[in-house]
Amino acid sequence: MSQLLLRALIVVAFSAFCFGCGYLTAFIVTRNQWRDEMIKRGDARYDWRTGKWEWGEPPIFEDELGRVRSQATDTR
């Protein structure tokens, strides 16, 4: 009886492990697809200076000459 219980426990643990791996893979794939869609629409940008993703409207700042620019149109 204990050997049967041990086998069942191993099968359940292995099944849970496989389910978890599949769930994690699906999450990563859909997250990347969602991020790519946000980039195409212009809602997401990668800031190379900070190494972070930024969401929403690009920040507005003034340059040395007092012109208002956004990070999306900045050529520097």
CA angle 76, 69, 73 (to 5 degrees): 55
Backbone angles phi, psi at 53, to 5 degrees: -85, 140
> Which position has the token pair 């946000």?
38
The predicted structure's pLDDT at residue 54: 76
* Domain assignments of the chain as residue spans, ordered by start: 1-41, 44-76
pLDDT in tens for each of the 76 residues of the chain? 799 999 999 999 999 999 999 999 998 888 878 877 877 877 777 777 777 777 766 666 666 665 655 555 545 4
SS3 3: helix
